Amino acid sequence: MKIQPFHLAIPVSNLEKCRKFYKETLGCGEGRSSEHWVDFNFFGHQLVIHYKPAEETAATHSNPVDGKDVPVPHFGVVLQWDVFQEFSKLLQAKGIEFVIEPYIRFKGQAGEQATMFFKDPCGNALEFKAFKNMDQLFAK
């Protein structure tokens, strides 16, 4: 089966603030838009931010994973190892406030991975991760 890009739509209470974040901070190319939504090229996938009033957005919960409080819900992508390293340095240089700073999770175990979590300006949690060996993506 050929892997296809995914489509994800998320709510944001401040369209312009999030538009700037995804475009300028994360470097996502902007596609179509209206006064209520904006499409982005999210690392080869389609991400759409949709305006939704703040009072209607849900609070973030967390679950323990590898001794850290992982925000739920969250979304993100798996990057190549070297791309993750460069991207995490870029985010640190831009002053991103991490929920979980870049580190190696499950070190020495099946599924060892680099990971980091942070939130967009409207509180949507994002995770970026990378595997030195992509064959470990679904390893138990």
Together in a domain, 111 and 131 = yes
Q: Quick one: which of 135, 115, 137 has its CA closest to 127? A: 115
In a domain, 1, yes or no: no
The pLDDT, as a whole number, for residue 96 is 97
In a domain, 2, yes or no: no
Together in a domain, 31 and 85 = no
Cα radius of gyration rounded to whole Å, the chain: 15
Q: Using DSSP, state whether 36 is helix, strand or coil.
A: coil
Q: How many CA atoms lie within 13 A of 100 on its CB side?
A: 24
Q: Quick one: which of 72, 4, 15 has its CA closest to 40? A: 15
Together in a domain, 49 and 73 = no
Measured at the alpha carbon of residue 98, what is the angle toward residues 4 and 92, in degrees to the nearest 5?
90
Which pTM value belongs to this model?
A: 0.90
The pLDDT, as a whole number, for residue 58 is 57
CA distance 104 to 115: 6
Tell me the helix, strand and coil percentages in the chain, rounded to 5: 20, 45, 35
In this prediction, what percent of the chain has a pLDDT beyond 90? 76
The pLDDT, as a whole number, for residue 112 is 92
- How many helices, marked H, and strands, marked E, lie in the chain? 2, 10
Number of domain units in the chain: 2
Range of the domain at 43: 7-53
Together in a domain, 48 and 74 = no
- CATH code of the domain in which 48 resides: 3.10.180.10
Together in a domain, 71 and 14 = no
Which residues on adjacent β-strands are paired with residue 30?
Answer: 40
Together in a domain, 37 and 101 = no
Q: Tell me, what amino acid is at 132?
A: K
* Average pLDDT for the chain: 92
> What's the pLDDT band for 57 if we cut at 50, 70, 90?
low
Together in a domain, 107 and 66 = yes
> What's the pLDDT band for 55 if we cut at 50, 70, 90?
confident
- Peptide bond just before 73 cis, omega within 30 deg: yes
In a domain, 69, yes or no: yes
In a domain, 86, yes or no: yes
